[in-house]
Structure formats: C-alpha cells, structure tokens
C-alpha cells in the first residue's frame, strides 16, 4: 500500500467523526475553503479538493461555468521524508494554489487552527 493509499484509508476510517479530527483549516483571503489537515491513526493527513467545486454547506457549484465537475479530493500524508516535495496542490473558487508543507507544519506547531493564504 502506498503512503497516499494509507493516508486515504486512515482519513476514511474517521467516518462521521472526520470533522472532529480536523486540526487545521486553510482558507483564502475571501474565506473560501482551500484545504484541511486531520489527525488520523496514520498521522497528520492533508486533504484538498482540486478543481472546480463548492466550498461550504451553503455554496453551490456554478453549473454553467463548471459543468458537472465537482473536483477531486487529494489526500496524502502531511509529514514526509527529505525526498518529499514541499509543494502541495490545492484549489478554491479563486483558482488553483500551491501550499507549503513546511508552512502547514509550522502553523500546527504554533497551535493554530486556521491558516490563511493569499
């Protein structure tokens, strides 16, 4: 099993308690949801929906603009070895983004629950 598959299985194992396991919520300057970091049995797991998608319980996908696509969830371990790339793809209504693994780990170490990106 690859590390991504293990991270996906660990995140899926949280089931209905996934929200309770969220340790960091990443938002853009317009308060769109960009990504989340969860504590799972396999360690810290990063999750972000890549591509066009709605961003909250009250948001709706703009069907004429985005078609039927609802994005794809990218799940992978946040912590990695020295050969793991620091860049993590993400997306919000403002467009595609790249987040830094090191920045997210630093925010978690500082005890932050929300991380804002420009």
Dist CA 43 CA 10 (whole Å) = 8
Q: How far is Cα 33 from Cα 14, in angstroms, rounded to an integer?
A: 20
- The DSSP call for residue 15 is G
Task: Give the domain range for residue 58.
Answer: 3-117
Q: How far is it, in rounded angstroms, from Cα 114 to Cα 111?
A: 9
Asked whether 53 and 81 are in contact (CB, 8 A), the reply is no
Number of domains the chain is built from: 1
Would you write out the chain's pLDDT as a tens digit for each of its 118 residues? Answer: 899 999 999 999 999 999 999 999 999 999 999 999 999 999 999 999 997 655 455 444 444 444 445 689 999 999 977 788 999 999 998 999 999 999 999 999 999 999 999 8
């Amino acid at each position: 099993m690859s590390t991504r598959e293990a991270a996906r299985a660990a995140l899926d194992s949280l089931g209905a308690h996934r929200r309770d396991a969220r340790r960091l919520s990443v938002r853009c300057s317009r308060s769109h949801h960009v990504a989340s970091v969860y504590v799972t049995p396999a360690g810290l797991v990063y999750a972000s929906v890549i591509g066009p998608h709605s961003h909250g319980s009250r948001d709706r996908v703009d069907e004429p603009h985005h078609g039927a696509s609802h994005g794809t969830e990218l799940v992978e371990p946040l912590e990695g070895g020295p050969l793991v790339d620091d860049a993590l793809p993400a997306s919000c209504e403002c467009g595609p983004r790249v987040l830094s693994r090191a920045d997210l780990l630093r925010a978690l170490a500082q005890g932050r629950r929300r991380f804002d990106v420009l």
